[in-house]
């Protein structure tokens, strides 16, 4: 019996394994594209947060009295406070970096004038002490009533530590405002006053900027999208190559 003539335009159908491979490749392309979109959205959210922080820094100054400001709403706003430092309660947060050098952040509670309330003041950074017998550098605390100008900031970030700092420790890894207030029997505001230049002699009032991490999210988004485009290109290349090979096989028959 004469075999039927198969037109050369007829393509050999894809095998089940090849179809499964295409489905998985398509799923991977869609997944990486969605991950890129998700990271891009997170980056845009953090960009808006950065813009709000910068706008707050340029806003009008707040006057700290007996009231409590909204730490979430007023974070990074300029803040002025008047009061007296409790020099004996100064704490030194260790392993803080500035310009590639290790040192301390110096924090001292300030009793607000005319009130029974206190605010923790981040006074500045000082290099580690190397004088014999000195554990911390000598940082004099202004006496009497002082005016402190800075900005309203969240409490210092908590670093990982194997041991918990004693409430009355002078040199410590972290400081938590609530336990500190309880240990000294004072009413302490739930945020800090981050002093800005000019500050006391020997201190540096250059604080690290709030890092929202938006650049990392945008970078991750481009990486995911690059993987998605690469996967789509490879899928198109291998699929068309497979179909061309199928046509050539038919023509040879």
Whether pLDDT at 159 is above 90: no
**What's residue 133's pLDDT?**
47
Indicate the range of 2-11, 92-101, 112-121, 172-181 predicted with least confidence.
Answer: 2-11
Whether 87 contacts 109, CB under 8 Å: no
Q: Taking 50 as the threshold, does the pLDDT of residue 89 lie above it?
A: yes
Average pLDDT score over the chain: 84
Beta strand 117-127 with 187-195 is parallel
* E strand map for 156-246: 171-172, 187-195
d(CA 217, CA 229): 18
Whether residue 115 is predicted with pLDDT greater than 80 in this model: the reply is yes
In the chain, the N- to C-terminal Cα span, in Å, equals 17
pLDDT exceeds cutoff 50 at 230: yes
């Amino acid at each position: 019996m004469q075999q039927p003539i198969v037109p050369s335009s007829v393509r050999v159908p894809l095998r089940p394994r090849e179809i499964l491979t295409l489905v998985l490749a398509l799923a991977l392309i869609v997944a990486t594209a969605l991950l890129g979109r998700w990271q891009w959205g997170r980056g845009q959210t953090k960009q808006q947060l950065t813009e709000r922080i910068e706008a707050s820094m340029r806003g009008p100054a707040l006057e700290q009295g007996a009231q409590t400001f909204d730490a979430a709403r007023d974070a990074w706003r300029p803040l002025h406070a008047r009061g007296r430092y409790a020099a004996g309660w100064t704490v030194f947060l260790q392993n803080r970096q500035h310009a590639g050098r290790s040192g301390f952040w110096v924090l001292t509670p300030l009793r607000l004038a005319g009130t029974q309330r206190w605010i923790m003041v981040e006074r500045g950074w000082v290099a580690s002490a190397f004088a014999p017998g000195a554990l911390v550098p000598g940082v004099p605390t202004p006496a009497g009533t002082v005016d402190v100008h800075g900005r309203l900031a969240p409490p210092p970030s908590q670093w990982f530590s194997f041991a918990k700092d004693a409430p009355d420790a002078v040199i410590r890894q972290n400081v938590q405002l609530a336990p500190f207030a309880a240990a000294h029997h004072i009413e302490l505001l739930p945020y800090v006053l981050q002093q800005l230049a000019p500050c006391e002699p020997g201190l540096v009032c250059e604080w690290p900027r709030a890092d929202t991490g938006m650049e990392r999210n945008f970078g991750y988004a481009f990486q995911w999208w690059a993987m998605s485009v690469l996967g789509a290109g490879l899928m198109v290349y291998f699929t068309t190559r497979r179909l061309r090979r199928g046509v050539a096989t038919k023509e040879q028959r």
